[in-house]
Amino acid sequence: MAHPRRKPRTGAAKWLRGGRETWSELEITRLVAAGIPTSVLGDVVEQGLLTRDEVTRLILPRRTLAHRKRRGEQLSPDESDRLARVLRLHEVALQTFDGDTEKVSAWLRAPNRALSGEVPLDLVVTSGGARLVEEVLLRIEHGVYS
């Protein structure tokens, strides 16, 4: 059941779903395991979710991306998983901050006291880090942090 204050899921994560509004976690897991198309990274940068430098730092090196594009290859399952975590956290942050993309962008890129001064976006390289960021977002949504 959806949280009553949350808006319907929209945005970046729909790229993973091929425009579908909802997919099961199992379907998303299968997509990540098969490899997300490299073209999704271009969409992510174009929409301002990540900069090119952030893609290089968080997802995969530029040369590797260029090589994959030339060969028509997908992202690896590990790279796809990191990208899926970024998209999920962006979606949760959008819900938490009522769709305010500027606030989401600033929050994801600023050191956070609740994360011992870590930058939330930097933590998405691991599933544990992404869980910590999501927990902070949920606390904000419930008024525990301002």
99 domain residue, yes or no: yes
- pLDDT at residue 6, as a whole number: 35
pTM of full prediction above 0.75? yes
| CA within 13 Å, CB half, 122 | 9
pLDDT digits (tens, 9 = 90+) for 124-144: 999 999 999 999 999 999 888
Choose from 18-22, 87-91, 105-109, 141-145 the range with maximum mean pLDDT.
105-109
77 domain residue, yes or no: yes
The count of structural domains within the chain is 1
pLDDT digits (tens, 9 = 90+) for 30-39: 989 999 999 9
5 domain residue, yes or no: no
Give SS3 for 118: strand
Closest CA to 133 of 80, 118, 28, 102: 118
pLDDT digits (tens, 9 = 90+) for 4-53: 333 333 444 555 555 555 667 888 889 899 999 999 999 999 999 999 99
Query: What's the domain range around 51?
Result: 13-141
Confidence of residue 2 (pLDDT cuts 50, 70, 90): very low
1 domain residue, yes or no: no
As a whole number of angstroms, the distance between CA 79 and CA 54 comes to 13
59 domain residue, yes or no: yes
